[in-house]
Structure 1
Amino acid sequence: MFDFTLPLPRGYIVADILNFHARDKDALSEIVSDTPITKQIKKAVLLGDVPTVIDIALDTSLEQACCVALSDAPINIAMQSQAKHIAASMLGLHIDPAAFLAFVETDPVFGPLTARQQGLRIAQSASIFEALTWAIMGQQINVAFAVSLRRSFIRLAGQPHSSGLICYPSPADAARIDIEALTSRQFSRAKAETLLRLADLLASGQIDLQESPANSLDTICAALLAVKGIGPWTVNYALLRGYGYADCSLHGDVAVRAAIANLWGHETRPSIAAAETLLARYRPHRTMAAAHLWASLNKSSNY
């Protein structure tokens, strides 16, 4: 067991964070409690290869998060560092929204929008692989169906924790899935092939998702875009939910384009190219721009 605390910024808003992690009402891999007394997330993850539950409890003042890593094996220093990073990701602490708020303070659209949506933050997935695979599963289907696919994926390949929660699969775990096991559970063959292709490339070391001086984000993105079935939207989503990158352009996202139409008074959604041009005005803060556009449709918790 490893205890640690994370300070929360002043004015921290937790609702969207909790909603994001509560997408699966079956609570297969995570449990979210949201009551006047208790605001808590329990998430089963792999620290190294060890099943662990990250238990995040927020005090009523929302001044800090009290976290515990409950592992099925001793926790070493590297695992402690990983646990802290995961908890901060899940709480949306890697992107400070203040820079975007200052950037759009006088913007005729985002100025009033951010004033209405104060405190909005971007929850991240517990791992880059989870963000990528969620994006692949969610391509061109509704959120409820995507959640059901995610649930099947976890059941097929996730390692159980002693608490009963199931850890989100690692690339190596996912690579061992038979494609028929996925297609028999409502995965399209194309989606299943993309998922397994990515898992195999990661498990074999042909693609490395860890950013380093020798492996830049540009290099990682290029490698991902070369994978059949993975396009710019999936990569940008992974940058947003996996890496906490501050300047992701989600111009290909249907909900983002619908929000642009609503807020700019267009009769129809703009084309992908037109949305890209509009969002370019908000560099280098396009991630927060996308988050506020999602939230304007009350969709922020679904993506």
Structure 2
Amino acid sequence: MWEETVNISGPYDFDLALQRQSIDPLNDVHIESRTINIPVYESEAEVVSIQAIGTTDKPCFLIKGKNEQTKAHVIEQVYKIFQWNVTLDEINNHFQQTTLNEIFMKHRGTPIILDFSPYNCLVKCIIHQQLNMKFAMALTENFVHTYGFEQDGVWFYPSPDKVAEIEIEELRSMKFSQRKAEYLIGLSKLIASGELNLQELATKSDEEVTKTLVKIRGIGPWTAQNFLMFGLGRPNLFPLADIGIQNAIKKLFNLEKKPTYEEMENFSQDWHPYLSYASLYLWRSIETAE
């Protein structure tokens, strides 16, 4: 067993991050103890605990793991997943001069949290396409419970190799559409065969990543943008086709109907180079009525 205490620059609202993470039934979140236990996908699966022991303005965390040999790499992964190297204060200052000022003040310190692996992110994106959130969550949970595995109370997604071997009829019996089953198995086959290398893809530009992904059946711009944002942590993505962002802009600017793509691009001119955070805070603005 090992543990490490980490201090980062504030503001960083881990309690709010945990609330958002708790929406996904696959996540092992403990609000009262300010803790989340996450799967780390190494050669051997490992569960790591992250507990907040600081405040929003002075964030401090206690990380606990079991394998001393992988400690350095696990901490690196945790930094990436929770975006601890991103200075949210700098981003907040940027948005003080924009039309999103009030939203950023109200939800100050909201971090982007990445999916626990790039493959998981793509799987979730494909499953969630054109589904309401409740059904999408239930379908994803059933998929992971059926083909993944549990360790120390934490669920791990199945590997691409395993998903590549699933028969389409099996997913159809779980209420996957024919096309979505084909998309998920097809993607997994590309990764399992080495034709699509997600580690290599992560080193490329946003444009190169998008160009590569949209060639894959079942992946369009919305999925590619969400992968860039929540799979790779890229800071400047604004999914124009996202209904939540459209609704948030409609509400913010008191529009009579949902904005056009051109209107959204006009509104967002001043939000560069942090469009991903604009997207997150816009989502956040319609998630709560507080």
Deviation at 1:240, TM superposition (A): 0.8
Aligned sequence identity (%)? 25
Deviation at 1:31, TM superposition (A): 1.4
Question: Aligned equivalents of 2:6 and 2:160: distance in 1?
Answer: 28
Deviation at 1:17, TM superposition (A): 1.4
Question: Aligned equivalents of 2:205 and 2:194: distance in 1?
Answer: 16
Using structure 1 for the length normalisation, give the TM-score: 0.86
Distance 1:170 1:85, change over 3 A: farther
Alignment of 1:40-119 (within 5 A): 40-48=35-43, 50-61=44-55, 63-70=59-66, 76=69, 79-107=70-98, 109-119=99-109
Cα deviations across residues 30-73 of structure 1 (Å, max 9, x unaligned)? Answer: 311111xx11001233212x121111111154632111223xxx
Using structure 2 for the length normalisation, give the TM-score: 0.89
Deviation at 1:249, TM superposition (A): 1.6
The question of whether the paired residues in 1 share the 8 Å contact of 2:10 and 2:88 is answered with no
Number of paired residues?
Answer: 286
Which residue matches 2:156? 167
Alignment of 1:226-237 (within 5 A): 226-237=215-226
The question of whether the paired residues in 2 share the 8 Å contact of 1:280 and 1:286 is answered with no
The question of whether the paired residues in 2 share the 8 Å contact of 1:137 and 1:146 is answered with yes
**More moved, 285-294 vs 15-24:** 15-24
The question of whether the paired residues in 2 share the 8 Å contact of 1:131 and 1:238 is answered with yes
Task: Establish whether residue 39 from structure 1 lines up as the match of residue 34 from structure 2.
Answer: yes
Question: Aligned equivalents of 1:287 and 1:197: distance in 2?
Answer: 28
Question: Aligned equivalents of 2:61 and 2:174: distance in 1?
Answer: 37
Which residue matches 1:129? 119
Cα deviations across residues 72-116 of structure 1 (Å, max 9, x unaligned)? Answer: xx564xx43442233224434253333332222222x21122112
**More moved, 51-60 vs 261-270:** 51-60
The 3-state SS of whatever aligns with 2:282 is helix
The question of whether the paired residues in 2 share the 8 Å contact of 1:157 and 1:177 is answered with no
Which residue matches 2:13? 13
Deviation at 1:265, TM superposition (A): 1.4
Question: Aligned equivalents of 1:157 and 1:266: distance in 2?
Answer: 45
Picking from 196, 214, 228, the partner of 1:207 is 196
Question: Structure 1 regions of 5+ residues with no counterpart?
Answer: none
Letter in 1 for 2:41: L
Cα deviations across residues 183-202 of structure 1 (Å, max 9, x unaligned)? Answer: 11111111111111111111
The question of whether the paired residues in 1 share the 8 Å contact of 2:235 and 2:273 is answered with yes
Letter in 2 for 1:141: L
Question: Structure 2 regions of 5+ residues with no counterpart?
Answer: none
